[in-house]
Amino acid sequence: LWLAWQQFTATEAGLPGPSTWHRDHLDQTLAHLRAPDGPFAACTTSATRPNHRVLATPAPEQAGVAA
């Protein structure tokens, strides 16, 4: 994916290079990774799926408040 990005963002690729990379490489890769039977199928942050835990998010820092 990275090598293709380098190729399609090079000067020789021209202005449509990055959009071609998105269409031909990124979209297909993300579809594969996020497919129901793909490598990330068990990953979720949905509370409606009891077999998976929702990752805790840290509280946002407040400006001007000392810890």
- For 6-63, how does the pLDDT look when each residue is reduced to its tens digit (9 = 90+)? 999 998 888 888 998 999 999 889 888 888 888 887 776 666 665 655 556 777 777 6
CB 51 within 8 A of CB 41: no
Choose between 23 and 64: higher pLDDT: 23
Predicted pLDDT at 61: 76
Placement of tokens 């963002």 in the chain: 9
* Confidence at residue 64, expressed as pLDDT on a 0 to 100 scale: 63
Q: Which one-letter amino acid corresponds to residue 62?
A: Q
Q: What angle do CA 62, 66, 67 make, to 5 degrees?
A: 95
| Radius of gyration, alpha carbons of the chain | 19
> Which residue bears the tokens 């979209």?
27
Contacts 24+ apart (CB under 8 A), 42-50: none
Residue 2 has pLDDT above 80, yes or no: yes
pLDDT given at position 48: 67
